[in-house]
Amino acid sequence: MKERKNVYKLSAGDETLSWYAKAVIEMKKRPTKDPRSWNYQAAMHNIDKTSPFWQGAGPFVNNTEAREFWDQCQHNTWFFLPWHRMYLSWFEEIVAKTIVDLGGPSDWALPFWDYSDTSNPHALTIPSAFTDPGNDTNGLWITGRRRHTLRKLDVSLKAALRATSFSGSGVTALPGFGGGETSFSNHGSQTGQLEAQPHGTVHNTINGAMGNPYTAALDPVFWLHHANIDRLWQVWLNLGHRINPVKSSWLDFKFEFHDVDGHKVQMKCSEVVDTRNVLSGYTYQDVPQAAPIPKHEFEVLKTSDFSMPLEIVAATNKKVNLSSAKTVVHLKLDPPPKKKASLAFMEKAPDKPQSTILHFENVTGKGVPPTQDVYLNVPDDEGNKESFYAGSISLFGLEASSTPGLHHSGSGQHYALDVTELMNKLRTLPNWNEKQLDVSIEPAWEMDNDASVKIGRISLYTE
């Protein structure tokens, strides 16, 4: 059993990262057609041969092989977590074997980067081994990262850990932790809470190769980021009253990878629900295994579909184009006729926990737009702005999910922000206006000239 360790808790003199760096350099020497090469592994996530990051990477595999093994990353779908877990595990085996072949230790495991660890003053910064020296002699370095330090907002786990169901389904249900239920689809449209933040926000802030799924896995830090995302899946389960999908359309779904000898292998989601059973098994430092859920509780969780109908209380009627400046959308809160639910109704039952979800539907666009931070009813003087923060929309992979293709519809992404707590607070403030909610959408940095974002509809739903 391997232990994946916290990269910031490796002891002085620990060689986990120096061996990783050597293995990366070795894997980069292998031709792209070799499944054990750095490029092949990254292409399995996504490849864009026109990107500068892929220049000089050819010759490439033939189209049949590319269709089978490349561009397989699962995003905005309930396969996000299991697919990336499989992907990491096979990658880890290949790196570990490379290290052994180079004369290194036999127990190498992928470390994780816990950027949300508030007890670590360095947590938000990429571990220095990845940035220093900043040149090709360092296997962990890559050109083009735009930022080495994440923003505090990027790494908030609040929304992700609050989700109780694994899969939300569109606007009719509470948003899920792990992404919307889909049939096979590389880029579905319902982004899970964990995938949205911190997963997408971290990708975006580092940017460069990491900012785009077509190049992300070329950055060695990608793998430590994903080890952390994978760890958070376990952390979420450990909170209790939470289970993985039980449908066979998830459990029996298979994906293809290569083993350490470059042979094709298949893996089902059901094989990766417990990290101790994935290949030779692994655990995460400081993360206990979830206590088994009592049978009767499991039965309840299994059958409770989390799709309690939510009702719409407000929506925009035009598309919203984002720019480099902040965009403020005034949501009229009058409920449409025939709908019972309204915020006034909410006020009458203050004790009942009422969920309120802010949706960003059919978000489409081009290029790599900035992360958008969303605030509600920010006072004009912007004082104490943080307490009006609703969440961030990373837009990671936006172009891929906006482009109709083999495995995706092109209808864009769908983000759901759980604003229950914030709305409860806003309603108690003196300036509360029950007819209007101001949604302010603020880019975290300037929009590149070749980037654009269009939000199909912003809507507010409540129980």
Contact call for residue 203 and ligand C2O (CB under 6 A):
yes
Q: Which amino acid is at 378?
A: V
Report the residue number, 209 or 374, with the smaller CB distance to ligand C2O.
209
Distance CA 168, CA 173 (A): 6
Site for ligand C2O in 67-106 (CB under 6 A): 73, 75, 84
Contact call for residue 145 and ligand C2O (CB under 6 A):
no
* Number of helical (H) and strand (E) elements in the chain, helices listed first: 13, 13
CB of 199 to ligand C2O, least distance (A): 6
CB of 11 to ligand C2O, least distance (A): 28
Bond before 294 cis per omega within 30 degrees: no
Report the residue number, 84 or 151, with the smaller CB distance to ligand C2O.
84
Closest CA to 41 of 62, 61, 14, 70: 70
Contact between 455 and 402 under an 8 Å Cβ cutoff? The reply is no
* Helix, strand, or coil (residue 338): coil
Report the residue number, 45 or 85, with the smaller CB distance to ligand C2O.
45
Q: Which residues, other chains included, contact 156 with Cβ-Cβ below 8 Å and sequence gap of 6+?
A: 116, 197, 198, 391, 392
CB of 51 to ligand C2O, least distance (A): 16
Contact call for residue 395 and ligand C2O (CB under 6 A):
no
Contact between 109 and 2 under an 8 Å Cβ cutoff? The reply is yes
Distance CA 61, CA 47 (A): 12
Distance CA 305, CA 248 (A): 15
Report the residue number, 195 or 442, with the smaller CB distance to ligand C2O.
195
* Helix, strand, or coil (residue 27): helix
In 213-309, where does DSSP find H-type helix?
221-238, 248-251, 295-303
What torsion, rounded to 10 degrees, do the Cα atoms 235, 371, 91, 99 define? -100
Instruction: Out of 44, 109, 124, 216, name the contact with ligand C2O by CB under 6 A.
Output: 216
Contact between 395 and 371 under an 8 Å Cβ cutoff? The reply is yes
Site for ligand C2O in 31-60 (CB under 6 A): 45
CB of 394 to ligand C2O, least distance (A): 10
Closest CA to 184 of 94, 73, 301, 260: 73
Distance CA 443, CA 371 (A): 6
Contact call for residue 414 and ligand C2O (CB under 6 A):
no
The binding track of 160-199 with respect to ligand C2O, each residue x by CB under 6 A or -, is ---------------------------------------x
Report the residue number, 213 or 335, with the smaller CB distance to ligand C2O.
213
Total residues in contact with ligand C2O, by rule CB under 6 A: 9
CB of 420 to ligand C2O, least distance (A): 27
CB of 106 to ligand C2O, least distance (A): 29
Site for ligand C2O in 349-368 (CB under 6 A): none
Site for ligand C2O in 262-301 (CB under 6 A): none
CB of 41 to ligand C2O, least distance (A): 12
Report the residue number, 272 or 346, with the smaller CB distance to ligand C2O.
272
Contact between 203 and 80 under an 8 Å Cβ cutoff? The reply is no
The token pair that represents 422 in the structure block: 């914030």
Report the residue number, 171 or 221, with the smaller CB distance to ligand C2O.
221
Report the residue number, 79 or 282, with the smaller CB distance to ligand C2O.
79
Contact call for residue 213 and ligand C2O (CB under 6 A):
yes
Report the residue number, 196 or 426, with the smaller CB distance to ligand C2O.
196
CA angle 186, 189, 194 (to 5 degrees): 85
Helix H or strand E encompassing 424: helix 420-426
CB of 71 to ligand C2O, least distance (A): 11
Q: Which amino acid is at 231?
A: R
CB of 396 to ligand C2O, least distance (A): 7
From residue 104, alpha-carbon distances to 20, 93, 129, 263 in Å are: 10, 14, 18, 23
Nearest-CB residue for ligand C2O: 73
Report the residue number, 217 or 322, with the smaller CB distance to ligand C2O.
217
Distance CA 111, CA 406 (A): 34
Report the residue number, 127 or 456, with the smaller CB distance to ligand C2O.
127
| Interface with ligand C2O (CB under 6 A) | 45, 73, 75, 84, 199, 203, 213, 216, 226
